[in-house]
Amino acid sequence: MLVLVLGDLHIPHRCSGLPVKFKKLLVPGKIQHILCTGNLCTKESYDYLRTLAGDIHVVRGDSESLNYPEEKVVTVGQFRIGLIHGHQVIPWGDAASLALLRRQLDVDILISGHTHRFEAFEHENKFYINPGSATGAYSALEMNIIPSFVLMDIQASTVVAYVYQLIEGDVKVERIDFKKY
Amino acid sequence: MPLQAAAAAAKLLKVCRRQEENHQEGYCSIINTLRLEFTIANMYHSVSETSHPLQTEEQEIGIDPLQSYLHKPGEGGSNENGSTHHTSDSDGTFLSYSKEWEELFVNNNYLATIRLKGINGQLRSSRFRSVCWKLFLEVLPQDRSQWIKTTSDLRTSYTKIKEIHITNPRKAGQQDLIINNPLSQDEGSLWNKFFQDKELRAMIEQDVTRTFPEMQYFQQENVRKILTDVLFCYARENEQLLYKQGMHELLAPIVFILHCDHQAFSHASEAAQPSEEMKVLLNPEYLEHDAYAMFTCLMKTAEHWFSTFEHDSQKEKDVMITPMPFARPQDLGPSIAIVAKVNQIQDHLLKKHDIELYMHLNRLEIAPQIYGLRWVRLLFGREFPLQDLLVVWDALFADSITLNLVDYIFVAMLLYIRDALISSNYQTCLGLLMHYPPIGDVHSLILRALFLRDPKRNPRPVTHQFQQNLDYYKARGADLMNKTRASAKAAPLNINKVSNSLLNFGRKLIAPAMASGGAVGAPAGGSSFPPPAMPIRSAVEAPQHHQQHHQQHHQAQQQRMMKSESMPVQLGKGQSSKNISSSPSIESLSGGREFTGSPPLSASKKDSFFSTISRSRSQSKTMSRKESEEELEAQISFLQGQLNDLEAMCKYCAKMMNTHLGNIQEVILQEHLEKEDEILVSLAGLKQIKDILKGSLRFNQSQLEAEENEQITIADDHYCSNSQNKGTGDVLKGPVMTKQQFVSGRQTTTDSSTSENKSADDYIMVSKEEEGSRSAVPEPAQSLQAHKEAPVKPEAPSRSALIFSDPLMGSISPSSSNLSSSPDDDSSNNSKDSDFAIVSPLDI
């Protein structure tokens, strides 16, 4: 089952739209679920995501115009997945703080955003994903952001995360495996 | 206890089968379902019995002699084989099992043997049907020593195919991630392929879940998976064709017979050690592999029926040439192989074997692809119940891998329902074709097809057409009810409908001109056409159901005579009659009808009927092609000659019948037998037939149906009554009288003489005249006479009913209620007749 993870689009405030090469990759009919870390900013972005998959979950970012929940827990296959934008976790993107939140939510995978920098790591046998910014919008701290998103292929008790990054005009793909114990 | 259940069911089957042979069509569907359930039930029994070895043995002993009888080659008809054989599907001894194997496959010329068996329907219950099919379909080579090797080769190749096509992108090893990631649109990407496959699979699965929904076997998840996988692999192996709807219907029976054979094998192998060949060939593990191999071989022939690929040459032509002005819709479309095929079947084969039916279908503008696509593509899979279907396939495959018997079975199927079709309107025709009526004996259909293909080498199926129609009509009353409902559904599907009505409108516009022209040139053509004594056949059939054997015998003889007369005539006339109809001389309906006075002929019924049909078609014909007048004249005169011959023959028959019947009656009356009444009733029936032969009686389908449903065969004895009341100017009585007169006819049939018959003739003329006068075409003397009588007729019924009913009511009260339907029948006759008078100028 394919789950698209992305966020921090900041359209139209910081970026005009998704990179063309990403748009080409994202076609309807392949993806079953979308988990969005927020900051879609406009309804149009949300509507675009809806065209890709029927099931879409969004949490509220810090510059959101629509009202979404602060955090969400979604179950896909055997995995409980926690979803949060990440501006609430201080320091931003800190592993220990995220672990605290993960324990609170009691999830197997915690997805957060806000830093605009892709990150995926295992910590205490749990999986943490930060898909970065799909548009490459600047963050509060950095100007040069690599556009990126993550696609999770969830099969029973394993997750294969494909990381798509747009580096110097080319799409690079990485693959990270995670198994639940 | 399964054993007893099986035995009981077997008995029941036998009984049913016997009835079936008596042409009790109504039972057929029941039998077929029974058979099906029984086979399946049997299969499961055998599985459960495996835990009771003792039981199995008992059963084997019980069934053994039966089987040895069954497996004697050439003994007993195929029908008997079929009926009893089902019991042995799974519970025979290993001995009989291996014996069957030896009989089928262990001799020098085994291939010819099993082909013969297949064509004769003797594989109906064979436990090696799948092996036979494999041989027919050339999955297995003729050389038996190669069987094992070929089988294992095919199996490994399927395993490979499956590995290639049914892929899991997640287990694809380390490919370049840029290419092989879930969102990749690269051609070589496994993920990309995976998503494409998913669409195809969804399409296949959608159909597979609808395969034989009435059968439990096809509802099982693993069976569905097998079907899907095989179809998927086939689609992937044949990218040009991919998967087309309908393929699943071809695969399903193959999987089913493989499964049945495997069941039989696993059961038989408990008793003893099967040979190595059997073990390999019938290994249940390889059901899917074998099914794939057989399916591919079958598709080698059938694939072009599924292809929608248009011929390039045809396309170019379409662009270059504007469509023919009067081309039929089916000729204009792109030439797809299957459409070309069904058109070819209808336009050539059907035309050759039954031009009347061909014209009728053309007139209704029922294009063959409306029903034929499904017939051919599914190899008649929806037209017969599964067990019958398998028999048809036995023959199809056994005949030749090229399946060219399909064309002839197609035609045979049409011929089987020809009478029903010809007497039906557009809706009913469609209903009949789309929901093919149940067939009592599929094998006769195959025989028919063989005969059609090669009349010289295959015996004429003697009873075929006649018997089948008899069968059919019996079930038909109820059938038609469903049919019309069904056809109402089917009708909107047809685009031609609109154009049809348009065309009819056009015909009407043209008709008056033609009619007036026709009046002038009439005498020659018109007079040659006798009245439509159309449903002779059915009138003859009706009394047959009475259990009086000697009469049955008479009738049977007569039928045979009539058949032998009418058949060749019809064939011979095929070509010329078309021309006749296009001559304007008979344009008006009355032209043909009013000549009732001249003794009409029984055999002419088809022709006269045909003329009505062809007449309406003729408009378009005459428009589209100009045929030379001389040729027409010559053909007309030839036809007339033939008609006259027939006329004479019928007259003679009627006369002789009359004499003999009179004799019989006299004797019987003197004897004062116990059941004299019944005999007399039957005699009256015979007289009716005589009158039909003479041509003085006519009737049609609806009458027939009513009769058959209510079992009142003599109800329509117009003449018997007439003959009794002859002195009292009863000519005026009209058809309404028949009820009461029935009895009188019964009591006094003896004194039927020629003069009475004359009065009957007159009466008939009156009823016809009604129609004739409407069309207002001047006619020779006889019609004038009829004209005079016409106005008197309407008042007649009430009057005469009062006069004559009393004496009769007393004696016949029980049966009179049965007869009550006859007046309605008469009225429907008229209306039905006028249905065919499409050209009538007064319609406008």
Task: Please tell me the distance from the alpha carbon of residue B610 to that of residue B605, in angstroms, as a whole number.
Answer: 8
Identify which has the larger pLDDT, B543 or B396: B396
Q: How far is CA B803 from the centre of its chain?
A: 46
**pLDDT tens across A96-129, in order?**
999 999 999 999 999 999 999 999 999 889 999 9
Sheet with A33-36: strands ordered across: A55-58, A33-36, A2-6, A148-155, A158-167, A170-179
Q: What are the structure tokens assigned to B96, written together?
A: 């009989």
- Give the pLDDT band (50/70/90) at residue B127: confident
- Which residues of chain B does A173 touch, with a Cβ-Cβ cutoff of 8 Å? 177-178, 181
- Give the pLDDT band (50/70/90) at residue B19: very low
- Which residues of chain A does B184 touch, with a Cβ-Cβ cutoff of 8 Å? 25
Task: Please tell me the distance from the alpha carbon of residue B699 to that of residue B690, in angstroms, as a whole number.
Answer: 14
- Name the nearest CA neighbour of B533 among B566, B556, B560: B566
Q: What is the mean pLDDT of residues B654-671?
A: 83
- Give the pLDDT band (50/70/90) at residue B175: low
Are A162 and B182 inside 8 Å of each other by CB?
Answer: yes
**A172 inside 8 A of chain B by CB:** yes
Among the ranges A22-26, B568-572, B813-817, which has the highest mean pLDDT value?
A22-26
Nearest-by-CA chain A residue for B168: A155
Are A162 and B178 inside 8 Å of each other by CB?
Answer: no
Structural domains for chain B: 92-170+181-305 (no CATH), 336-485 (1.10.472.80), 649-710 (no CATH)
Given a cut of 50, is residue B385 above it in pLDDT? Answer: yes
Q: Which of A4-8, A90-94, B95-99, B594-598 is predicted with the least confidence, judged by mean pLDDT?
A: B594-598
Given a cut of 90, is residue B148 above it in pLDDT? Answer: no
**A169 inside 8 A of chain B by CB:** no
**pLDDT tens across B430-453, in order?**
888 888 888 778 888 888 888 888
Task: Please tell me the distance from the alpha carbon of residue B25 to that of residue B478, in angstroms, as a whole number.
Answer: 12
Three-state secondary-structure class, residue B310:
strand
With contact defined as beta carbons under 8 Å apart, do A55 and A32 qualify? yes
- Which residues of chain B does A160 touch, with a Cβ-Cβ cutoff of 8 Å? 170
Tell me how far CA of residue B518 lies from CA of B377, B511, B775, B776, in angstroms: 46, 10, 12, 12
User: What is the pLDDT at residue B597?
Assistant: 39
In the block, tokens 């149009």 appear at A44
Cis previous bond, A12, omega within 30: yes
With contact defined as beta carbons under 8 Å apart, do B251 and B207 qualify? no
Given a cut of 70, is residue B775 above it in pLDDT? Answer: no
User: What is the pLDDT at residue B627?
Assistant: 56
Among the ranges B197-211, B263-277, B670-684, B728-742, which has the highest mean pLDDT value?
B197-211
Query: Using DSSP, how many helices (H) and how many strands (E) does chain A show?
Result: 3, 11
- Give the pLDDT band (50/70/90) at residue B362: confident
- Give the pLDDT band (50/70/90) at residue B791: very low
Q: Which of B277-291, B355-369, B380-394, B606-620 is predicted with the least confidence, judged by mean pLDDT?
A: B606-620
Nearest-by-CA chain A residue for B184: A25
For chain A positions 28-57, those within 8 Å of chain B (CB to CB) are: 29-30
Fill in the amino acid letter for B437. P
Interface test with A, best of B170, B171, B177, B181 (most A CBs within 10 A): B181
User: What is the pLDDT at residue B44?
Assistant: 42
Rg (CA), chain B: 31
- Which residues of chain A does B195 touch, with a Cβ-Cβ cutoff of 8 Å? 29-30
Shortest alpha-carbon distance between residue B192 and chain A (Å): 10
The residues spanned by each domain of chain A are: 2-179
In the block, tokens 């007079």 appear at B527
Kindly state the percentage of chain B with pLDDT values over 90.
3
Task: Please tell me the distance from the alpha carbon of residue B132 to that of residue B101, in angstroms, as a whole number.
Answer: 10
- Give the pLDDT band (50/70/90) at residue B582: very low
Identify which has the larger pLDDT, B537 or B269: B269
**A26 inside 8 A of chain B by CB:** yes
With contact defined as beta carbons under 8 Å apart, do A123 and A95 qualify? yes
Q: Of A27, A155, A162, which is closest to B181 when you measure between CB atoms? A: A162
Given a cut of 80, is residue B210 above it in pLDDT? Answer: yes
Shortest alpha-carbon distance between residue B190 and chain A (Å): 13
Provide the whole-model pTM. Answer: 0.53
Counting one residue from A and one from B, how many pairs have CB atoms under 8 Å apart? 33
**How long, in residues, is chain A?**
181
Rg (CA), chain A: 15
Q: Of A26, A30, A173, which is closest to B195 when you measure between CB atoms? A: A30
User: What is the pLDDT at residue B446?
Assistant: 86
Q: Of B177, B178, B182, which is closest to A30 when you measure between CB atoms? A: B182
Task: Please tell me the distance from the alpha carbon of residue B390 to that of residue B374, in angstroms, as a whole number.
Answer: 17
Task: Please tell me the distance from the alpha carbon of residue B804 to that of residue B46, in angstroms, as a whole number.
Answer: 68
**pLDDT tens across A122-168, in order?**
988 999 999 999 999 998 888 899 999 999 999 888 899 999 999 98
- Which residues of chain A does B177 touch, with a Cβ-Cβ cutoff of 8 Å? 162, 173-175
Are A151 and B185 inside 8 Å of each other by CB?
Answer: no
Nearest-by-CA chain B residue for A177: B170
Which residues of B touch chain A, with CB atoms under 8 Å apart? 170, 177-178, 181-185, 195
User: What is the pLDDT at residue A163?
Assistant: 93
Identify which has the larger pLDDT, B240 or A44: A44
Nearest-by-CA chain A residue for B176: A173
Parallel, antiparallel or unpaired: strands A55-58 and A33-36: parallel
Task: Please tell me the distance from the alpha carbon of residue A157 to that of residue B467, in angstroms, as a whole number.
Answer: 68
Identify which has the larger pLDDT, B67 or B240: B240
Q: Of A153, A171, A174, which is closest to B182 when you measure between CB atoms? A: A153
Are A175 and B181 inside 8 Å of each other by CB?
Answer: yes
Task: Please tell me the distance from the alpha carbon of residue A172 to that of residue B177, in angstroms, as a whole number.
Answer: 8
User: What phi and psi values does residue A82 have, to the nearest 5 degrees?
Assistant: -95, 140
Kindly state the percentage of chain B with pLDDT values over 70.
47
Are B183 and A164 inside 8 Å of each other by CB?
Answer: yes
- Which residues of chain B does A172 touch, with a Cβ-Cβ cutoff of 8 Å? 178
Q: What are the structure tokens assigned to B531, written together?
A: 């009245």
Nearest-by-CA chain A residue for B194: A30
User: What is the pLDDT at residue A157?
Assistant: 86
**A24 inside 8 A of chain B by CB:** yes
- Which residues of chain A does B181 touch, with a Cβ-Cβ cutoff of 8 Å? 151, 162, 164, 173, 175
Task: Please tell me the distance from the alpha carbon of residue B511 to that of residue B513, in angstroms, as a whole number.
Answer: 6
- Give the pLDDT band (50/70/90) at residue B626: low
Are A162 and B195 inside 8 Å of each other by CB?
Answer: no
Are B185 and A24 inside 8 Å of each other by CB?
Answer: yes
Are A175 and B182 inside 8 Å of each other by CB?
Answer: no
Q: What is the mean pLDDT of residues B261-273?
A: 82
Q: What is the mean pLDDT of residues B46-56?
A: 39
- Which residues of chain A does B178 touch, with a Cβ-Cβ cutoff of 8 Å? 171-173
- Which residues of chain A does B197 touch, with a Cβ-Cβ cutoff of 8 Å? none
Q: Of A2, A26, A175, which is closest to B177 when you measure between CB atoms? A: A175
User: What is the pLDDT at residue A134?
Assistant: 92
CATH number of this structure's domain A2-179, picked from the four choices 3.30.300.30, 1.10.1610.10, 3.60.21.10, 3.30.70.250: 3.60.21.10
Residue B85, number of CB atoms within 10 A of its CB: 21
Q: What is the ipTM of this complex?
A: 0.83
Q: What are the structure tokens assigned to B319, written together?
A: 């662009």
Q: Of B170, B182, B185, which is closest to A151 when you measure between CB atoms? A: B182
Tell me how far CA of residue B279 lies from CA of B88, B128, B274, in angstroms: 20, 12, 6
- Which residues of chain A does B172 touch, with a Cβ-Cβ cutoff of 8 Å? none
In the block, tokens 């248009």 appear at B310
- Which residues of chain A does B170 touch, with a Cβ-Cβ cutoff of 8 Å? 153, 155, 160
Are B183 and A162 inside 8 Å of each other by CB?
Answer: yes
**A166 inside 8 A of chain B by CB:** no
**How long, in residues, is chain B?**
844
Q: What is the mean pLDDT of chain B?
A: 63
- Which residues of chain B does A167 touch, with a Cβ-Cβ cutoff of 8 Å? none
Cis previous bond, B53, omega within 30: no
- Name the nearest CA neighbour of B367 among B429, B456, B439: B429
Shortest alpha-carbon distance between residue B206 and chain A (Å): 18
Shortest alpha-carbon distance between residue B178 and chain A (Å): 6
Q: Of A29, A155, A173, which is closest to B181 when you measure between CB atoms? A: A173
- Which residues of chain A does B175 touch, with a Cβ-Cβ cutoff of 8 Å? none
